[in-house]
Chain A
Amino acid sequence: MVTRARDPGPLAREIEHTADLGLEVEAPTLGVLFERAGLAVLGLVVDIAAVEPRTRIDVGIAADGHEALLRDWLQALLLRLQTDGFALSELAVEAVGTDRVRGWGAGEPLDRARHAIYTEIKGVSYHELAVRATPRGWWARVILDV
């Protein structure tokens, strides 16, 4: 499946957290959870709806457990955006297990003239990080350090 910035409906819900930003994400599958969480985090930094999916890049992460995988996946996407200046507006997870996630993203180089910048996120914290299976699919909570 592919999740797109312009898909209708919210990707995640912002939650209260004193110093930083928290997000809760729900999805029918673990793969879509990673896609929605990824776009939700990128969407806090830049208006991803204005980003054209011109170029595809591969994203692959290995880590121990769903929480660490999600955290490193989000951190990798943020690095692409904030360090390499490449913004994504589509994400697709092709395979995800307990120690590996593999997929691709589509987007274009960041262009301040066309892409509104909202904020900068320093990183994704381990604090209260959670990924759980629910009767309706999957749920995750991440706290972002801003």
Chain B
Amino acid sequence: MELRRVGEHVWEIPRHGGMRVPGRIYASEKLVRDLRDDPALQQVANVAHLPGIVGCALAMPDIHWGYGFPIGGVAAVDADDGAISPGGIGFDVNCGVRLLRTGLDADDVRPKLERIADALYQAIPAGVGSDGAIPTLTVAEEKQMLARGAAWAVARDFGRASDLEASEEGGCLRSADPDAVSATALARGRSQVGTLGAGNHFLEVQAVDAVYDAKVADALGLYAGQLTVMIHSGSRGLGYQVCDDALRAIGQAMPRYGIAVPDRQLACVPLSSPEGRQYLGAMAAAANFAWTNRQVMSGLAERAFEAALGIGPAALRFGLVYDVCHNIAKIEEHVIDGVRRRVCVHRKGATRAFGPGHPALAPRLRALGQPVIIPGDMGRYSFLLVGTAAAMAETFGTTCHGAGRLMSRAQAKKAGRGLDLVAELAKRGVIVRAQSLRGVAEEMPWAYKDVADVVDVVDGAGLARKVARLKPLVVIKG
């Protein structure tokens, strides 16, 4: 695959074959060296075949192979005559991350971390075989939840109303159509509200261990040494089923629209088609499930902290810094070649990073730019950044989403064989509570790239600006 350097951190796949636009990858020389033989590059070229695609098929520095689209892939298509591809959103619709602040200093709490870990592990259901935090919903209740998103959870005393403005879209896509969600998807979601899930999902208690922009950190209520909480989870079985149902329906419908794509997992239909509209409505409902899910877990975590420390809300001062989506498609306006256009931006393993002044941001965040949360592996660190004007100009207001895997799950398990993984993490000052040791092995730090390498590229390329670094103290895994 020809890869041409066009900027310090930017590489281009020139248009060839059926590509409608070039591919563009943000990466350092080091990351590009690792990528040379990676099938993810071909996937960027494949995405450039999508009908209605504008600008470039983009990839962020955490690019790696995914189903159809690469993880770290971004594509904007014309909102009127472009195509929607469920593979460009991914199976875990609105998988995302939220960062919560507390009013506590990490050093003060350090002696009680084991107790906090136990309380959180008890309070946050993982998934298989565990009872959800909320009794199994009726179909009518579930559909209400899918229509309302995070506000549904706030109305049930999980978190507070101010959390909603610290969330992309206020924690709810109003275009959600719960009736577009299949009975199987509804069944999969009914008992999973407020559950973490397995794989790379986690809840972490962290400390702010470096501040790069004190002014922005202060405006977000953060300071060095502060105790924070990060939650990474998504739409669970419901979102998976929404994507699965859509891939089947769209795969069958695609020939009717005369669309051909180089990979069946890039199946797509016009946004305006009945199948396209049905998927968009169901995807938005799944996105709302994910926001509800993270909001419920925030409330559970807050109560667990209060119980473990014997303090009330006034002392804990729990509050949402921000909540971002990683896997989603949204209708947005962007300036492309000097013209303002309505486009549908697919972000798969990529984070919206709107710059300062964007009207989609809550007034108190507007001067700062959108907070962007980039989780790393469970042994090192995660980052908080803010969006920039450059991201608006170059990447449809988008930046990276995480570290990206370095090893397969099987390799990671092999690397961890014979080691006491919990003790290994304890040596790094991290307390782990996990449902499965096998899951811990697959998610060990050595299985991931160093997220700092990824974050340095987006910071260097101007796609987001570093604000703070967060070090894990407690990790809860499903």
Contacts and interface: CB of A to CB of B under 8 A. Distances in A.
Interface of A: 14-22, 45-46, 75, 79, 81-83, 85, 110-112, 115, 117-120, 122-123, 125-127, 145-146
Interface stretch (B60-68, B169-177, B304-312, B337-345): B60-68
A83 B191 CA distance: 8
Interface in B373-411: 405, 408-411
A127 B67 contact: yes
25 contacts: A14-B410, A16-B408, A16-B411, A17-B409, A18-B64, A18-B65, A18-B405, A19-B409, A20-B409, A21-B409, A46-B128, A46-B129, A81-B128, A82-B128, A82-B237, A83-B188, A117-B129, A117-B435, A117-B436, A119-B438, A120-B199, A123-B91, A126-B264, A145-B240, A146-B409
B91 A117 contact: no
Interface in B78-93: 91-92
B198 A119 contact: yes
B128 A146 contact: no
Given A16-B411, A145-B91, A120 B64 contact: no
Contacts of A115: 129
Contacts of B265: 126-127
Contact of B127 (A16, A120, A127): A120
A25 to B, nearest CB: 16
Given A79-B188, A119-B436, A145-B240, A125 B67 contact: yes
B66 A110 contact: no
Nearest to B477: A119
Q: What are the nearest 3 A-B pairs in CB distance?
A: A120-B198, A112-B129, A122-B240
Nearest to A112: B129
Given A18-B65, A127-B265, A110 B129 contact: yes
A18 B478 contact: no
Contacts of A75: 244
B194 interface: no
Interface in B193-213: 197-199
B130 interface: yes
Given A19-B66, A120-B199, A83 B436 contact: no
Interface in B124-172: 126-130
B91 A16 contact: no
B187 interface: yes
Contacts of B128: 45-46, 81-82, 110, 117, 119-120
Given A110-B128, A117-B129, A122-B240, A17 B436 contact: no
Nearest to A87: B129
Nearest to B478: A120
Most chain B CB neighbours (cut-off 10 Å) among A75, A119, A125: A119
B240 A119 contact: no
B408 A18 contact: yes
A79 B199 contact: no
Interface in B430-478: 435-436, 438-439, 478
Contacts of A120: 126-128, 197-199, 478
Contacts of A17: 408-410
B71 interface: yes
B184 interface: yes
Contacts of B438: 118-119
Contact of B65 (A14, A19, A111, A125): A19
Interface string B85-109: 0000001100000000000000000
A127 B411 CA distance: 20
B436 A118 contact: yes
A19 B410 contact: no
Most chain A CB neighbours (cut-off 10 Å) among B129, B197, B439: B129
B244 A123 contact: yes
A75 B439 CA distance: 21
Nearest to A123: B240
Nearest to A81: B128
Contacts of B198: 119-120, 146
A50 to B, nearest CB: 12
A135 B92 CA distance: 39
Contacts of B188: 79, 82-83
A36 to B, nearest CB: 19
Contacts of B241: 123
Interface string B112-128: 00000000000000111
B198 to A, nearest CB: 4
